[in-house]
Amino acid sequence: METSTQDTQKAIKGGEFLIRETAASEIFIPEEWSEEQKMIAQTCNDFLDQEVFPHLDEIDSMKNPDIMPGLMDKAGALGLLGTSVPEQYGGFGMNFNTTMLVAEVTGAGHSFAVALNAHTGIGTLPILYYANEEQKQKYLPKLATGEWKAAYCLTEPDSGSDANSGKTKAELSSDGKHYTINGQKMWITNGGFADIFIVFAKIEDDKNLTAFIVEKGFGGITMNEEEKKMGIKGSSTRQVFFNDCKVPVENMLSERENGFKIAVNILNVGRIKLGASAIGACKKVISTAVNYAGERKQFGTSISDFGAIKYKIAEMTTRNFASESASYRAGQNIDDAYDALLASGMDAPKARLKSLEEFAIECAILKVHGSEVLDYVVDEGVQIYGGMGFSAEGPMDRAYRDARINRIFEGTNEINRMLCIDMLLKRAMKGHLDLMTPAMAVQQELMSIPDFGAADEEGIFVKEKKALNNLKKAGLMAAGAAVQKFMQKLGEEQEILTNLADMLIEGYIAESCLLRVEKLIAQKGEANCQVEIDMAKVYLHRAVEIAGSAGKEAIMSFAEGDELRLMLMGLKRFTKMEPFNIKDARRRIADHVIAKNEYPF
Amino acid sequence: MKILVCITHVPDTTSRISFTDNDTKFDTNGVQFIIGPYDDYALARAVELKEANGATLTVLNVGLADAEPTIRKALAIGADDAIRVNAEPSDSLFVANQIAHYAKEGGYDLILMGRESIDFNGGVVHGMVGEILGLPSISPVMTLELDGNTAQLSREIEGGKEQIEVDLPFVAGCQEPIAEWKIPNMRGIMTARTKPLNVVEPVGDETGATLVNFEMPPAKGAVKMIDADNVGELVDLLKNEAKVL
């Protein structure tokens, strides 16, 4: 599938956005989906309309245990389970960004989305990326059609975020033909109906996990009842027990002790796709809420006529638009990195993994941002619905409850925030990313006379780009000072890491939004992009505010005296934005969405 | 066996309708286009017949290049090839003439389409095509079974149901429940681009009618609630305000 990209993108490294100015022409924007990609999205939409949305209550009631596997079968018949699987194994070998699009659209499908993502993501990808040829031939065609359904068994009662501390054991039999797995796994999505389990266990006294492909038919697998959950109630979630489960040695996935690495790498995909799914869920909630706001009359007028409601509609839309901009920018970066690695002679699964690993920082950013935008959107969705929002009979109840898990699974948002900064600093230490030079330049700038120029420069987003650039400087300043202060012990300062992560996240998202709109202007002309321009400015304003506040908290947490004063002054300088009438901008955004009566981008 | 399904390229059912050029043109700006829902039923049944009988299935659309995504969706759903008659589908007779010409040229055994389009809802094209080709035409067809060279059809009529037996070839205007709409699957979508979409020029320019202008229905007025005990006021309002008595 073709998407328009520039050759220059091939050189882009993960995390580099912080120190590299990206041209708008370099990024992929969702307005560039091909006809074929749009048709794929439409198929996903039609599937939800026909098979999922009319049955949401039934799905969530869990009274019929066949309903979810039945839906998966139907999705399989449409090819929705094989989008990432290469054609030689019975799939469709779509590029990464197209599979992101599928994740986005199906993301509106509540519990079904969770089952689908677990199967196609953490269930199938470990085999796709790490299995040997024989294992691939055996498992992938059946997973791509849905004949076999997959689950992923990593988490244990005492091993959640600290995944490598799992206690499940695998012991080699005396004849060397099989491993016997014993242990307990928890929160296993699709557990109730899965045929294949990707199981992580430690062989004997190994330090690291090893992964196995376990068929239900191997025996020794029992389960607890379905978990009772706050949301995604229709998604099967079980505790799975392995009691002398005999797994043939040929079912070890990859090498001994490579399991933790598999888990970490697969989570990169899970994270960025979770972000994409959240975008689809947001679009549905926004459309539903806007429609209600238009119909609901109070004081003789639609509540969508009120500024307080317009504020919500504009913010919901803007934040989602920004998240979407960043998601497909990163998705395309991953595709380009993959193509480049493939061209350099690397084999396909390795190239896919490497390309994802390269953009692991962006994956973590998008997981955090997407899930938090979704929680904001569902919260305001409830609020717009008022009393009906709190009613369990209305559509916002399910949306609100189902959204919440996204900040928890695929690595909590707290873990992902730490990871963002940890990965960034590690890359700097290893010399992959030169953060030192720009960080020094910022320190230099702090000591010099502030730059009052550029106010008279003309052109689209000149001021905004300066503000964005300054936002990045604020991040570099705070991060640089924190590293100098704590050195190796920075990892223990989770509050500061969280502040720094917020600066990083907002910088990336705001930049992506700005670049998307800039590219749109180049394609459609400024006059046809007024609402998008408003959104880019409104989002940037938000990003700068968050970065200012997070930066201040970080600096106050470790600096003192003159250094503190100097940095606070610098921060103030770096988080200054040209004033504009943000109320009117939000009203224009909301009016556009209200006129379309749905999320229109 | 050769099946021809004629499809329209029409605004989605939820589109907001407005006009431009002094109310003489439909404003397509921002409008999502789809395969006409009734045509989609005809297409779905044709795909089933093709799978059961090993037929070849061609879709035909009278329309401009902007209809091609809609046509390719029909290819993704299961048609083998497509014909686009390169002309604005301006009026029923014009469209029927185009279909009849290319249907005759292709020698089809079954010519299916929706009972009506959902833009102008004329509902006459199938009858006209049958008339031009000298073939039986039946509408609205709700079931269609093939038995060799004969088809069993049923349609609802005032107060009952009609069973019809007809020899091939014939023309049918279809509606639900003839088949369930088919969602294009991934394989269909990915092979659609490799299937032929032949663009041909229209024949003749005979039209049956000329469009003068469009008019939106008057906006709905406010509802007045009148107490059930107050019949006198109701009569008065119907007489003097609504002027319907």
For an interface test with A, which of B190, B197, B223 has the most A Cβ atoms less than 10 Å from its Cβ?
Answer: B190
Pair A270, A325 in one domain: yes
B2 has a pLDDT exceeding 80? yes
B221 has a pLDDT exceeding 80? no
A392 has a pLDDT exceeding 70? yes
- Final residue belonging to a domain, choices A392, A422, A452: A422
The two tokens of residue A243 are 């009691």
Distances (CA, A) of A236 to A48, A69, A113, A199, A239: 19, 10, 12, 17, 10
pTM for this predicted structure: 0.92
A15 has a pLDDT exceeding 90? yes
| In a domain? residue A505 | yes
| In a domain? residue A428 | no
CB contact under 8 A, A39 and B184: yes
> What confidence score (pLDDT) does residue A454 get?
53
Contact status, residue A224 vs residue A238, Cβ threshold 8 Å: yes
A83 neighbourhood in chain B, CB within 8 Å? 186
Q: What is the C-alpha separation between A314 and A589, in angstroms, rounded?
A: 5
A2 has a pLDDT exceeding 60? no
| In a domain? residue A230 | yes
Distances (CA, A) of A295 to A96, A304, A526, A570, A597: 39, 8, 32, 48, 10
The band of A172, judged by pLDDT with boundaries at 50, 70 and 90, is very high
Type of residue at B133: L
pLDDT in tens, B121-155: 999 999 999 999 999 999 999 999 999 999 999 99
Q: What is the C-alpha separation between A42 and A49, in angstroms, rounded?
A: 10
Segment A3-14 mean pLDDT:
58
Pair A453, A392 in one domain: no
> What confidence score (pLDDT) does residue A11 get?
61
Provide the residue range defining the domain that includes A243.
Answer: 1-422
| In a domain? residue A427 | no
Contact status, residue A507 vs residue A18, Cβ threshold 8 Å: yes
Find tokens 């006294």 and name the residue: A205
Pair A520, A559 in one domain: yes
The band of A508, judged by pLDDT with boundaries at 50, 70 and 90, is very high
B72 neighbourhood in chain A, CB within 8 Å? 35, 39
Domain count for chain A: 2
Pair A412, A462 in one domain: no
Those residues whose C-beta lies under 8 Å from the C-beta of residue A299, and which sit 6 or more positions away, are: none
A10 has a pLDDT exceeding 80? no
B17, B21, B24, B29 alpha-carbon torsion, rounded to 10°: -30
Contact status, residue A281 vs residue A113, Cβ threshold 8 Å: yes
Pair A532, A581 in one domain: yes
> What confidence score (pLDDT) does residue A455 get?
56
Domains within chain B, CATH numbers bracketed = 2-216 (3.40.50.620)
Pair A241, A313 in one domain: yes
- With the C-alpha atoms ordered A564, A566, A567, A571, is the resulting torsion angle positive or negative? positive
| In a domain? residue A299 | yes
B187 neighbourhood in chain A, CB within 8 Å? 79, 92
For an interface test with B, which of A42, A44, A120, A592 has the most B Cβ atoms less than 10 Å from its Cβ?
Answer: A42
Pair A403, A473 in one domain: no
Distances (CA, A) of A251 to A88, A198, A218: 21, 10, 11
CB contact under 8 A, B183 and A40: no
Q: What is the C-alpha separation between A509 and A539, in angstroms, rounded?
A: 9
- State the CB neighbour count (10 A cutoff) for residue A376: 17
The band of A340, judged by pLDDT with boundaries at 50, 70 and 90, is very high
Segment A408-427 mean pLDDT:
95
A149 has a pLDDT exceeding 80? yes
CATH of the domain at A350: 1.20.140.10
Pair A488, A395 in one domain: no
Q: What is the C-alpha separation between A101 and B31, in angstroms, rounded?
A: 22
Contact status, residue A7 vs residue B143, Cβ threshold 8 Å: no
- Percentage, residues of chain A above pLDDT 90: 93
Contact status, residue B98 vs residue B202, Cβ threshold 8 Å: yes
Classify burial at A301, counting beta carbons within 10 Å of its beta carbon; exposed 0-12, middle 13-18, buried 19 or more: exposed
- Final residue belonging to a domain, choices A374, A393, A422: A422
> What confidence score (pLDDT) does residue B97 get?
96
Strand-strand pairing, B56-63 and B81-86: parallel
pLDDT mean across residues, chain B: 94
> What confidence score (pLDDT) does residue A7 get?
46
Contact status, residue A85 vs residue B187, Cβ threshold 8 Å: no
| In a domain? residue A601 | no
A532 has a pLDDT exceeding 70? yes
Lay out the sheet containing B143-147: strands in order across: B143-147, B150-157, B160-167
Segment A226-246 mean pLDDT:
96
| In a domain? residue A10 | yes
Q: Which of A345, A343, A324 is nearest to A276 (CA)?
A: A324
Q: Which of A304, A324, A306, A309 is nearest to A373 (CA)?
A: A324
Gyration radius from chain A CA atoms:
24
CB contact under 8 A, A78 and B69: no
Contact status, residue A436 vs residue A395, Cβ threshold 8 Å: no
Q: What is the C-alpha separation between A253 and A214, in angstroms, rounded?
A: 10
pLDDT mean across residues, chain A: 94
- Percentage, residues of chain A above pLDDT 70: 97
Contact status, residue A189 vs residue A72, Cβ threshold 8 Å: no
Q: What is the C-alpha separation between A364 and A415, in angstroms, rounded?
A: 9
Q: A489: which DSSP letter?
A: G
Pair A443, A592 in one domain: yes
A65 has a pLDDT exceeding 60? yes
pLDDT in tens, B29-81: 889 999 999 999 999 999 999 999 999 999 999 999 999 999 999 999 999 99
E-assigned strand segments in A489-596: none
The SS3 call for residue A495 is helix
The band of A452, judged by pLDDT with boundaries at 50, 70 and 90, is low
- Give the HSE-up count for residue A275: Cα atoms under 13 Å, Cβ half-sphere: 34
The two tokens of residue A385 are 């619905």
| In a domain? residue A429 | no
The band of A279, judged by pLDDT with boundaries at 50, 70 and 90, is very high
Q: What is the 3-state secondary structure (H, E, C) of A45-94?
A: HHHHHHHHHHHHHHHHHCCCCCHHHHHHHHHHHHCCCCCCCCHHHCCCCC
pLDDT in tens, B8-36: 999 998 888 889 999 988 898 889 999 99
Pair A368, A502 in one domain: no
State which residue of chain B sits closest to A76, comparing Cα positions: B185
B193 neighbourhood in chain A, CB within 8 Å? 36
Active site residues of A: 410
Segment A228-253 mean pLDDT:
97
Question: Which chain B residues have any C-beta within 8 angstroms of a chain A C-beta?
Answer: 16, 30, 69, 72-73, 76, 181, 183-187, 189-190, 192-193
> What confidence score (pLDDT) does residue A1 get?
43
CB contact under 8 A, B69 and A35: yes
Pair A285, A189 in one domain: yes
Q: Which of A405, A384, A369, A403 is nearest to A288 (CA)?
A: A384
Find tokens 């002790």 and name the residue: A257
Segment A357-382 mean pLDDT:
98
Segment A550-558 mean pLDDT:
97
Gyration radius from chain B CA atoms:
21
Contact status, residue A318 vs residue A309, Cβ threshold 8 Å: no
The band of A6, judged by pLDDT with boundaries at 50, 70 and 90, is very low
CB contact under 8 A, A36 and B73: no
> What confidence score (pLDDT) does residue A139 get?
98
Strand-strand pairing, A169-172 and A221-223: unpaired
Pair A410, A459 in one domain: no
> What confidence score (pLDDT) does residue A8 get?
43
The band of A456, judged by pLDDT with boundaries at 50, 70 and 90, is low
> What confidence score (pLDDT) does residue A93 get?
94
Q: Could you tell me which residues are beta bridge partners of residue B155? A: B162
- Final residue belonging to a domain, choices A422, A446, A466: A422
